[in-house]
Amino acid sequence: METRALVGAPRGSRAAILRAGKRGGTGAAKQRLTRFDQVTGSSYMVRWPAMLPVSPVLPRKSQLWAFWALLLVAWLSLTPWAVDHHHRCSWLVVLNKFERVGSHFSQDRFLDQEPMDTVAKVFEKLSDSPVDTQERYLGFPYYLQINFSCTGQVRIYTVKRMISNSEELARKGHLMGMRPVVLISYRYPVNFYRWKIENLQVQMEAAPLRSTEHCAAEAMCVLNWYTPMPIKNGSVVMSVDISSNGIGPFIPRKRFYMNMNGFLKRDANEKVIYTIGYESIVMKSNNFKKSKSRPLWYTINHAPVLILGGIEGEKALLITDTNFQDASLVELSIDSCWVGSYYCPMLSFSATIFDAISTESTLFIRQNQLVYYFTGRYSTLFDTSHSSSRWVRVLPTECIKKLCPVFVNGNGSEYVLALNTGIHEGYIHIGTITDGLVSFQMVPTGWSVCDMLSGTNCTIDWATYIADEKNLLLLLEILNENLDKVFYLLSFNLAIIGCTSSIWRTSPRSTPSNTWSTLTTERWCLSQIKRRKYKKLSFTNLCPFKVMRLRDLPEKQHFARQELYHAPPPLVSQTLGFHNNKTLAVYQGLVYYLLWLHSKYDKPYADPVHDPTWRWWQHKKQYKDYYFYLSSNWLAAEGVYIDMSSYQKLYNISNDHGLPEIVFLDKGTSFSFTVFLSSQEDTLMSAATLGTTFQVEKKLAVAVVVADPDCLKATVKQEVLLNRKAVLYKIKIEDRKVCYDQGLSGHNLKKTSMMIKVLGSAGKCFQTTFLGTSMQGNLMVPVLIGCPPGKRLAFDVTYTILHSREINKHYFDCVKSNPEMPCFLFRDLFQPFFLVQDMVTGDSGSFLGSYLLKVVGGGHTLDTIRDYTEEEIFRYNSPLDNSESLIWKTKVERTTRDKKFYIMSYLSPGIEWLCLENSPCHDITPGNIFAPEFFLKLLVSNRGVDTSTYCDYQLIFILHMHGLPLSSNRSLFIVIVSISLLSGLVVFYILFCILWPHIVKAWASLRWKINNIMASESYYTYATSTAGFSVHSHTVSEESVKAPSKAGSAGGIAEAEKAQEA
């Protein structure tokens, strides 16, 4: 018997754990002891350090003390009270708002849908870190609070104590290094014309955080793990898969749904309430006593909120945004007003909501003959003006007897069907929901489907709509001449003018289930079967096989087209490894920026490195050792270390077992796998008494069924392994290249499926695991044929520039260069190259197919670019144009069938720019001293010219062209003006040189004369003023001595006048 001692237990409290008995043994005892060992090995040796050095092997004699402990544990294991049962732990996940992180019992609803500016201040302090503090980092409104609970009480006997609970398990798991791993999967939106189709996943590791509530302990109280709950534009349905990193207690993987709820709002007191009605706080069993079970009607994989009506006598329904992991009872705020009429008699009135259908953004209900809808507020899908503020009644003049769901969306929209009764019996209203906008159309037009059938009491019992094929399937019930009920299945094609139909009639005594099948979807839940100590009855095993395994599985990530990013939390310098609100804010910002880089990577110009995260750290990776040095010496800002290499996109993840949930096939592609079946003990035994030998291949037979044999080809190869009593079936599913034309990535895919069935296993083969019991022998995988999501065409500008430099012997960029959009010279030969990039597998290779290149827009600047009309596109690109409007030409001789456009490839000789007289790039007036520039909007498409793929690669990019020539007239005008100006300058210079000396001499003479005149005037003015002053002074002095006389006075005046005249 094998033993293992608990190394590191407290002194005097050593114990031993009983391991499995004989190697390779089986049975319940081994399973129980193995689980018991897992519990103790990962949860209860908490005194072990996180990392232990390798210890030397001690002699056997030093471990004799374990013998008595072994006997004690063996005796305890035989008693029913030693271990009550293996504890069953389950993950718990709730939403927490940003400001409520750390509250243990808090839970929020998914109402807010926009990023928040809550982390910018934290990132501003992250100096000496890989992040660029100048970039804008945002956060998300919510966190995921993660914990787990274990049923019952786990009793493990040691010398000192024997009790543990969920909180203690969480603390012990954290100290041992346990980290919940969170995988968030985003469901792509319905309207693929508005949003890109992609299956995006983000893998995160939860960060531990102590509760902010009061606790007497110094180190640890209530412990929870947190991750950001990232939001992605266009996605309202999100699944959250929680698993463990393999350390600590064993907790099975569990899936949660965290869907946006657009039917919530905040009242005046900031309380979250429903917009569709009033929520009942307590759900009583009396509400459901008279209610019958009803199916869930919704758009598969796209409805974030599910509703369920049928509550007898109540104007209420159940609503959930977690796939009924929890639900609310809401009384609807509708008027419930209906007045019967001759055309629509009211047989009875009831407040019950008979039909309830949920789509991606809109809820539909039917009460009596009234139909209402309510569009939620989903800002990530469409403009909020499309949302409703109250229930909207539609088809007010119609008498609706039933609403039928359309489970599968198509053509970028969702659909519901309303069946008429009364005067419009035999008509159907098709409701179309696109971006929250609802419209109804009645079909057929002008006649009823009942007019095609003979009989009475014609009624439509059910209807469904195949949107991709525009095909309406109707189940009709009618009374024939013998008053027998006859059922008809009518196919009504809306795509063909005049409408064609096909009718299948059933016999009056046959049941509809034998002749037609209803397209419904059911959700199967496998209930866990608890192990109990009952006496087992032995039965004969009717299952034809003993073990069924899948081998050589296809790469799940690649065939399911899942893009996966890895984003762990930053490392912290805290001793016990706990985070705080600031480090969680940094985690929020990093995840946001990662998704922002993902969204910005979908651009026409290909980066030198095919990785969305390449630009994030391209200038900081050289300082990686420096940042690690700061963190190792506790010098990192805010105590945070960001490992740049850990934030990456993962391309080859194949850790999950089993077939993909869905498979995408391009033209001629295939996937294969192997089914291993081992027989029961008596399967290969020879039947000597019968005189024959049993053949295993007849007993273990496998059938492969494809829904569309014209589209899919199934190949099965059998290999019998007699020595192992087993059979191998190598199965290959291949596309036949005939069921799809060409389409954009992820658009209008052909929906089909394949199924594998082991003959004789239906209802006889089961498998029991710790998750419960599941049925074996049947496998079904949906298959979508067309252009898979995640494939795109990009302009390989790097190689185009290298090739241009090679063929033109030079390359001239613009004066003001832009690394995101390099320039190309007009007179150089332009030969573009393109890349086919796979966002799922990470492959990036040259596009080797044929394509059409067209100039579909242009402008003098980026802001003035306009799209050209179809007529302009023909004139600017077609070799048939004779209006002198061509922008470019090529020496390629291959054209389309109508000779309108060139068909090019990577072997084409290149493009020569023309910009003829009537083209928009002809005769551009320069805005400065540099040559004119022009921006061309180019469209590249392989549709109709490339038969190697189902993908319609459409690429639109801007080409910056410089060095454009001027027209001959403008050039001549500029030359004439330039010569005239130059000649005028020369003549002026000559005249100036000849006349300049004379001008200088004349100017000098003129200036001398002016100076003389000014000097003379100044002298005469001065002399006159001086003489007058002297005479006046002398006269005054004489008059003051002598008496004045008349004669003297006259003589003096005369003399003065003479002197003045002189």
User: What pLDDT, on the 0 to 100 scale, is given for residue 593?
Assistant: 94
pLDDT tens digit sequence for 332-361: 998 766 666 666 766 677 889 999 999 999
User: What pLDDT, on the 0 to 100 scale, is given for residue 783?
Assistant: 95
**Most trustworthy range by pLDDT among 29-43, 490-504, 692-706:** 692-706
218-244 burial by CB neighbour count: b if 16+ within 10 A, else e? Answer: eebbbbbbbbbbbbbbbbbbbbbbbeb
**Three-class DSSP category at 147:** strand
Given a contact cutoff of 8 angstroms between Cβ atoms, the answer to whether 288 and 294 are in contact is no
Q: What is the mean pLDDT of residues 813-819?
A: 87
pLDDT tens digit sequence for 566-595: 999 999 988 888 999 999 999 999 999 999
Higher pLDDT pick, 404 / 542:
404
User: What pLDDT, on the 0 to 100 scale, is given for residue 150?
Assistant: 84
Angle at 345 between CA 344 and CA 346, to 5 degrees: 115
Task: Quote the pTM value.
Answer: 0.80
Higher pLDDT pick, 543 / 501:
543
User: What pLDDT, on the 0 to 100 scale, is given for residue 542?
Assistant: 83
What is the DSSP track for 594-608?
Answer: HHHHHHHT--SBPPS
Least confident of 19-33, 206-220, 278-292, 418-432: 19-33
Q: What is the mean pLDDT of residues 231-252?
A: 92
Higher pLDDT pick, 413 / 33:
413
pLDDT band at 6 (very low <50, low <70, confident <90, very high): very low
The number of C-alpha atoms within 13 Å of 462 and in the hemisphere containing its C-beta is 13
Q: Cα(481)–Cα(479) distance, rounded to whole angstroms?
A: 7
pLDDT tens digit sequence for 706-732: 999 999 999 999 999 888 888 999 999
User: What pLDDT, on the 0 to 100 scale, is given for residue 880?
Assistant: 93
Q: Cα(1047)–Cα(157) distance, rounded to whole angstroms?
A: 159
Q: Tell me the two tokens of residue 821.
A: 């959009």
Least confident of 155-164, 784-793, 821-830, 857-866: 155-164
Given a contact cutoff of 8 angstroms between Cβ atoms, the answer to whether 974 and 1001 are in contact is no
Q: Cα(37)–Cα(78) distance, rounded to whole angstroms?
A: 15
Q: Tell me the two tokens of residue 812.
A: 């001239």
Average pLDDT over all residues of the chain: 80
User: What pLDDT, on the 0 to 100 scale, is given for residue 637?
Assistant: 85
Judged against a pLDDT cut of 60, whether residue 683 lies above it is answered with no
pLDDT tens digit sequence for 477-535: 999 888 888 898 888 888 764 444 445 555 444 333 333 333 222 222 222 223 334 44
User: What pLDDT, on the 0 to 100 scale, is given for residue 505?
Assistant: 54
Q: Cα(791)–Cα(262) distance, rounded to whole angstroms?
A: 31
Higher pLDDT pick, 22 / 496:
496
User: What pLDDT, on the 0 to 100 scale, is given for residue 666?
Assistant: 94
Q: Cα(375)–Cα(275) distance, rounded to whole angstroms?
A: 10
Length of the chain: 1062
Judged against a pLDDT cut of 50, whether residue 782 lies above it is answered with yes
User: What pLDDT, on the 0 to 100 scale, is given for residue 42?
Assistant: 35
Cis geometry, peptide bond prior to residue 444 (ω within 30 degrees of 0)? yes
Given a contact cutoff of 8 angstroms between Cβ atoms, the answer to whether 427 and 448 are in contact is yes
Percent of the chain at pLDDT > 90 equals 46
Given a contact cutoff of 8 angstroms between Cβ atoms, the answer to whether 582 and 589 are in contact is no
Q: Cα(579)–Cα(204) distance, rounded to whole angstroms?
A: 15
pLDDT tens digit sequence for 368-385: 889 999 999 999 999 989
Judged against a pLDDT cut of 60, whether residue 565 lies above it is answered with yes
Higher pLDDT pick, 83 / 635:
635
How many other C-beta atoms are found inside a 10 Å radius of the C-beta of residue 337?
8
125-140 burial by CB neighbour count: b if 16+ within 10 A, else e? Answer: ebeebbbeeeeebbbb
Judged against a pLDDT cut of 50, whether residue 250 lies above it is answered with yes
pLDDT tens digit sequence for 889-908: 999 889 999 999 999 999 98
Q: Cα(855)–Cα(87) distance, rounded to whole angstroms?
A: 68
pLDDT tens digit sequence for 601-651: 888 999 888 889 988 988 888 899 999 999 888 888 888 999 998 999 999
- Which residues are CB-contacts of 822 (< 8 A; sequence separation ≥ 6)? 797, 801, 813, 814, 960
User: What pLDDT, on the 0 to 100 scale, is given for residue 496?
Assistant: 60
Q: Where are the beta strands (DSSP E) in 385-484?
A: 392-394, 400-405, 414-420, 428-434, 437-443, 456-466, 471-479
Least confident of 104-118, 219-233, 693-707, 1012-1026: 1012-1026
Q: What is the mean pLDDT of residues 852-879?
A: 94
Pick from 745, 738, 953, 956: nearest CA to 845: 953
